Structure 1
Amino acid sequence: MKGYDMINTILPEELILEIFTHIEESKSTRDSSSLVCKRWLKLERLSRKTIRIGATGNPDDLVNLLVDKFTNIRNVYFDERLPVSSPPLPQYGSSSSSYRSRSNRSKKRRRNKSTGSFSKIQPQAEYSELETFDLESFSLTDSGLTALARVTRLEKLSLIWCSSVTSAGLKSVAENCRSLKCLDLQGCYVGNEGLAAVGQCCRQLEDLNLRFCEGLTDTGLVELAAGCGKSLKVLGVAACANITDTSLEAVGSHCTSLQTLSLDSEFIKNNGIVSVAQGCPLLKVLKLQCINVTDEALLAVGTYCSSLELLALYSFQRFTDRSLCAIGNKCKKLKNLTLSDCYFLSDKSLEAIGSGCSKLTHLEVNGCHNIGTFGLESIGRSCPSLLELALLYCQKIGNHALYEVGRGCRLLQALHLVDCSSIGDDAICNIAQGCKNLKKLHIRRCYEIGDRGIIAIGENCKYLMDLSLRFCDRVGDDALIAVGQGCSLRHLNVSGCHQIGDAGIMAIASGCPQLVYLDISVLQNLSDIALAELGEGCPLLRDVILSHCRKITDVGLSHLVKKCTHLETCHMVYCPFVTSVGVATVVSSCVNLKKVLVEKWKVSERTRRRGGSILSYLCVDL
């Protein structure tokens, strides 16, 4: 009946609130739903649990507004890493009153449109008179945190790079938000007093991130561990020069429920790691980048942390195979292992892991120059559950290692190879024949891999969705034809594969209609006909990178964007036959564009006015 609102009359508020709980993660859907009517707007605000705030003009005032409108929020995320542009100054000759009037009208329009969603507000909407402005006004301060403290049921708070926040603001939150479970202080200059207050008041705290908190010392972390150590499960510390083994000893004494520890410090030594290993028997995840830690620490981890599932070791140059042997002998639940720049590890370490950790699912070996073919063969023979393998800068690992992986790791879904000069087509053929569930294959600068290996992938790995062959200059059109005929790719990167031309890309266009990402940069033989075929065959493309393609012209671009209406990113620098006309065609045809990378001199004034916010330039004017 005309004038009769069936939705508002029939649907009870409890049902509408229940609907909103099922779309919590979709901000755009919630925003659209709140526009139905004032009743829905009110209910949406009542049901919203999460708010994310990027760079804003006046975050303290914004927090006050949010707290009043969204009374039941539980999770608040600030991230001030985003750049903030300066608000426009009034032009000479315009009165301050007229400028203030325009600003107020703009502010009103912006608030009506947002309908309670303030994930990002431009600074222009926050200032009326700008004779001068202070960059500090773009940062959250203690005043904003004090306002946020009115949300007494807050559970998660993230303050990433909020450099103006001090212990006073954090203390206010701690004293009022005693249900806080997750606190991220990355890049904040809070001191010991604020952290101690969190320990005293937030006895349910489970997750704490202290990366780049340069103002902290052992005093603050020790007091926190003593206060809420029983509930703490996740702790991250990085680049905190004044946090030493004393803090970790307190963690080992009080945080008996700790499950995840991430440390990046040159000041942590063996005593701290040993204390954590002995005092935290439930430890499952351990990530270490501590150059002064030796075998003694990791021997303790192997002895006491039998529940360990993930171990990541970065830049360790003071421990040997003894450490990994201890891990392999005791940590039978280990599933994920990363070894990066561990120069003194050899094949013996991987042999110990293979024989002791048969449940291993993820392995990354990066720059460990003494690990070779024999070590990886042990993994292939002993770890049938392996799902992902990454070999980066492993010059001593040869084809036979991947033969064993192909034969023994039938469940493998992802393989990454970077600068592995001894791995060639034979290895890739073995992977293709044995690992038919492969979904992701990334290869970069492996110059012994050519068409034969990739053809085998196309013929055998029917579930492959993500293929990257960067600077593999022996791979040509025949390889992509096989992939296009056998796989339905969603992501393809063939940057720098000079032998690939129109035939290979056209085969992908006809065989992979679900393609959303394509990098064909530095393909010198690619022409407009390939772009035309991509436009016809891959209408879902969102990201296209075609820089350094010297045969591409405005005609090819027009064919591409005519059908690829979902395009969001387009990089086209160093394409000599792409002119300002082609750039204008891309900008005007693709309504979803978020970024266009191009030379500045190719952008006309009209195009700059139309798409200034999405244009990025290769270089600035000299």
Structure 2
Amino acid sequence: MGGVCSRKQEQDIEDSSPGEYCKSGSLKRLTPSFSYPMMSFHLQNGECPSLLDLCIQRISQDIDRYSSMSILPRDISQQVFNELVRSHRLTAAFLEAFRDCALQDLYLGEYAGVNDSWMDVISSQGSSLLSVDLSGSDVTDFGLTYLKACENLLALNLNHCDHISDYGLKYISGLTNLTSLSFRRNNAISAQGMSSFSGLVSLVKLDLERCPGVHGGLVHLQGLTKLESLNLKWCNCITDADMKPLSELTNLTSLEISRSKVTDFGVTFLGGLQKLSMLNLEGCLVTSACLGSLAELPALSTLNLNSCKLSSNGCEKLSQLGNLKTLNLGSTDITDACLAHVKGLTKLESLILDACKVGDRGLANLAGLRQLKCLELSETEVGSNGLRHLSGLSSLEKINLSFTEVGDNGLRKLRGLSSLKSLNLDARHITDAGLAALTSLTTLTDLDLFGAKITDSGTNYLKSLKNLRSLEICSGGLTDAGVKNIKELSSLMFLNLSQNGNLTNKSLEFISGLTGLISLNVSNSRITSAGLRHLKPLKNLRSLTLESCKVTAIDIKKLQSTDLPNLVSFRPE
């Protein structure tokens, strides 16, 4: 079904993280792998660009006129380089102008055309170069030989570089100042190749997510005593035997080994990691028996046991994890009985129980968690009666009640949640009457009503929610009259009205006043190409979805080229 809403939100997006490289065509992320200052010349009314900004813009526009940037101060050359990358104007020919410019940061992640021929100019930055991102490039093992000249390099990102193997790793083994190294999604790195990491004694962060050949290679990390963060997510080759070398990494604060073959026995090797504060065991073969070992970790504040083999039997040790701030027990077999052991975790700020066998009786154990800010209860047996136990959680900012038994009566029990900002009600039992109870939640910024029985009259209650930034109403019951009420929500940045088959071009006319919109989805409606003219004022729009409408990609591209300069993702495409 084109343009369908995301029912389980972020949890359905496979292990994505901010700035992560995705080689598929779907635009899940709009930023590079490393963050860097991005210049923007789309100024607000009355604003004047600085002289420096104008100079950078002009040099970037006329880059073909300059043979070398080396006569400019380094910070100016750096900004010109960044602007060329941002505007996608940097080519191999233009890159030559930056030879010997002593640049410090080269963020080329996901940039088209980067290959070994670029590496000579990159290496010419010499000892000045501090960070390089080549994610998704065609750089090969040979290309890495050039990095030997950059002995002060601190951060190197080579995610999804399909042409880099064990052979290339030896060329970075001498970069002993490296503090951050990332090789996500590399099928060629093996345990033998990881021996090249043993000399990187300054490493603080190592990312090997989705590297399926590293089993047995963690032994080479034993000497990296400064290592604080290790990401081995989705390395399904990792077993209990790989856990023993990690016991030597006493400065480790963050460890991610989700979707591996680690069992309760493997977790016992972590007992000596007294500084470990974040542990991700999602999808591992651990049971409730691992909680005894985890209780030995005094600094543990974030624990992810989603999709593990947990049940309520043996969960007593949960009560000993008194420093936990974030606990994910989603998609396990725990019941209300387990929540009795969560009752004493008074420091909890986030609790995820989606797809668990918990209900109204279990929520009584959460009434004392006064610091709780986020509560995920989607796909549970929770109903309207159980929400009375949450009415005193004045710190609660986000609650997900999608696919529960909560109805209109239950929403009245949420009126006391004065800090609530995000509410997900992807529920079949919510009607216009339920929305009336939400008018007091003036702090709401995100509201998801997928599947709810909302009509035009129901949207009238939304007009009081002036702080809403994100709104999804994908029920199929709206017409243009309902969208007329939405046009008053001037703070909206994300709007999803897909699956409302009666919406016409008139709805786009109402939406045209929401100039802060970044994302708009009106798929499966009666909108046509003629209505696209109403979107011209939406200069901030970056994502537009109009699948199963009488609109073509050519129509959208024309609008993009003439009126929507920031639009980077659209469907149909």
TM category (shorter chain) comes to 0.7 to 0.9
How many angstroms does 1:240 deviate by? Answer: 4.2
Per-residue CA distance 1:128-164 (angstroms, 9 max, x = gap): xxxxxxxxxx3222233333334332212222211x2
Question: Which residue identity is paired with 1:476?
Answer: G
Per-residue CA distance 1:282-327 (angstroms, 9 max, x = gap): 4443333xxxxxxxxxxxxxxxxxxxxxxxx53426x4x4444554
* Structure 2 residue aligned with 1:98: none
* Structure 2 residue aligned with 1:80: 110
Work out which of the residue numbers 136, 139, 161 in structure 2 matches 1:161.
136
How many angstroms does 1:175 deviate by? Answer: 3.2
Question: Which residue identity is paired with 1:534?
Answer: L
Task: Give me the whole-angstrom Cα distance separating, in 1, the residues matched to 2:351 and 2:269.
Answer: 27
Distance 1:234 1:615, change over 3 A: closer
* Structure 1 residue aligned with 2:340: 403
Task: Give me the whole-angstrom Cα distance separating, in 2, the residues matched to 1:39 and 1:614.
Answer: 27
1:414 has 2:362 as partner: no
Per-residue CA distance 1:529-582 (angstroms, 9 max, x = gap): 3323323x22232221111242x2211212211x22232222222213322321
Equivalent residue of 2:281, what SS? Answer: strand
Task: Give me the whole-angstrom Cα distance separating, in 2, the residues matched to 1:243 and 1:139.
Answer: 29
Question: Which residue identity is paired with 1:480?
Answer: L
Task: Give me the whole-angstrom Cα distance separating, in 1, the residues matched to 2:336 and 2:412.
Answer: 25
1:86-485 to 2 correspondence within 5 Å? 138-152=112-126, 153-162=128-137, 164-172=138-146, 174-188=147-161, 189-192=163-166, 194-200=168-174, 202-216=175-189, 220-226=193-199, 229-240=200-211, 243=214, 245=216, 247-252=217-222, 254-263=223-232, 264-265=234-235, 273-278=243-248, 280-288=249-257, 313-316=258-261, 319=263, 321-325=264-268, 327-328=270-271, 330-343=272-285, 345-354=286-295, 356-369=296-309, 371-380=310-319, 382-395=320-333, 397-406=334-343, 408-421=344-357, 423-432=358-367, 434-447=368-381, 449-458=382-391, 460-473=392-405, 475-485=406-416
Question: Which residue identity is paired with 2:88?
Answer: T
1:519 has 2:455 as partner: no
Q: How many residues align?
A: 488
Distance 1:534 1:72, change over 3 A: farther
Per-residue CA distance 1:199-257 (angstroms, 9 max, x = gap): 22x2211111112234445665434534xx22223222244455553x434333x5343
CA contact (8 A) 1:49 1:72 kept: no
Task: Give me the whole-angstrom Cα distance separating, in 2, the residues matched to 1:239 and 1:196.
Answer: 21
CA contact (8 A) 1:248 1:275 kept: yes
Distance 1:249 1:179, change over 3 A: same
Distance 1:532 1:46, change over 3 A: farther
Task: Give me the whole-angstrom Cα distance separating, in 2, the residues matched to 1:352 and 1:275.
Answer: 17
Work out which of the residue numbers 413, 423, 429 in structure 2 matches 1:492.
423
Question: Which residue identity is paired with 1:451?
Answer: S
Distance 1:271 1:489, change over 3 A: closer
Task: Give me the whole-angstrom Cα distance separating, in 2, the residues matched to 1:160 and 1:373.
Answer: 43
Equivalent residue of 2:129, what SS? Answer: coil
Task: Give me the whole-angstrom Cα distance separating, in 2, the residues matched to 1:224 and 1:342.
Answer: 26
Work out which of the residue numbers 504, 512, 521 in structure 2 matches 1:597.
521
CA contact (8 A) 1:377 1:400 kept: no
Question: Which residue identity is paired with 1:232?
Answer: L
Per-residue CA distance 1:419-439 (angstroms, 9 max, x = gap): 212x1112212202x112211
Distance 1:428 1:275, change over 3 A: closer
Larger Rg: 1
Question: Which residue identity is paired with 1:498?
Answer: R
Distance 1:232 1:49, change over 3 A: farther
* Structure 1 residue aligned with 2:470: 543
How many angstroms does 1:36 deviate by? Answer: 2.3
* Structure 2 residue aligned with 1:534: 462
Tell me the TM-score normalized by structure 2: 0.74
Equivalent residue of 1:489, what SS? Answer: coil
CA contact (8 A) 1:390 1:417 kept: yes
CA contact (8 A) 1:49 1:74 kept: no
Tell me the TM-score normalized by structure 1: 0.69
Task: Give me the whole-angstrom Cα distance separating, in 2, the residues matched to 1:547 and 1:266.
Answer: 37
Q: Which runs of 5+ in 2 are unaligned?
A: 1-34, 57-72, 537-541, 551-571
Question: Which residue identity is paired with 1:592?
Answer: G
CA contact (8 A) 1:477 1:504 kept: yes
Equivalent residue of 2:294, what SS? Answer: helix
Distance 1:478 1:244, change over 3 A: closer
Task: Give me the whole-angstrom Cα distance separating, in 1, the residues matched to 2:288 and 2:212.
Answer: 35
Task: Give me the whole-angstrom Cα distance separating, in 2, the residues matched to 1:63 and 1:541.
Answer: 44
Distance 1:342 1:255, change over 3 A: closer
Higher strand share: 1
Task: Give me the whole-angstrom Cα distance separating, in 2, the residues matched to 1:268 and 1:486.
Answer: 43
Per-residue CA distance 1:475-520 (angstroms, 9 max, x = gap): 122332232343232211111x222222332332x32333222111
CA contact (8 A) 2:239 2:261 kept: no
How many angstroms does 1:399 deviate by? Answer: 1.9
Task: Give me the whole-angstrom Cα distance separating, in 2, the residues matched to 1:272 and 1:346.
Answer: 19
Task: Give me the whole-angstrom Cα distance separating, in 2, the residues matched to 1:221 and 1:34.
Answer: 52
1:533-612 to 2 correspondence within 5 Å? 533-535=461-463, 537-550=464-477, 552-561=478-487, 563-586=488-511, 588-599=512-523, 602-608=526-532, 611=535
Q: Which runs of 5+ in 1 are unaligned?
A: 1-23, 82-137, 289-312
How many angstroms does 1:30 deviate by? Answer: 9.5
Distance 1:220 1:367, change over 3 A: closer
What is the root-mean-square deviation in Å for CA atoms of aligned residues? 3.6
Task: Give me the whole-angstrom Cα distance separating, in 1, the residues matched to 2:236 and 2:417.
Answer: 50
1:36 has 2:68 as partner: no
Distance 1:266 1:559, change over 3 A: closer
Question: Which residue identity is paired with 2:503?
Answer: V
Work out which structure has the larger RCO, using CA pairs closer than 8 Å and 6 or more positions apart in sequence.
2
How many angstroms does 1:71 deviate by? Answer: 5.9
Distance 1:435 1:269, change over 3 A: closer
Question: Which residue identity is paired with 2:207?
Answer: G
Higher helix share: 1
Equivalent residue of 2:404, what SS? Answer: coil
Task: Give me the whole-angstrom Cα distance separating, in 1, the residues matched to 2:291 and 2:467.
Answer: 43
Question: Which residue identity is paired with 1:492?
Answer: L
Task: Give me the whole-angstrom Cα distance separating, in 1, the residues matched to 2:504 and 2:102.
Answer: 53
Equivalent residue of 2:410, what SS? Answer: helix
CA contact (8 A) 2:378 2:400 kept: yes
Task: Give me the whole-angstrom Cα distance separating, in 2, the residues matched to 1:26 and 1:240.
Answer: 30
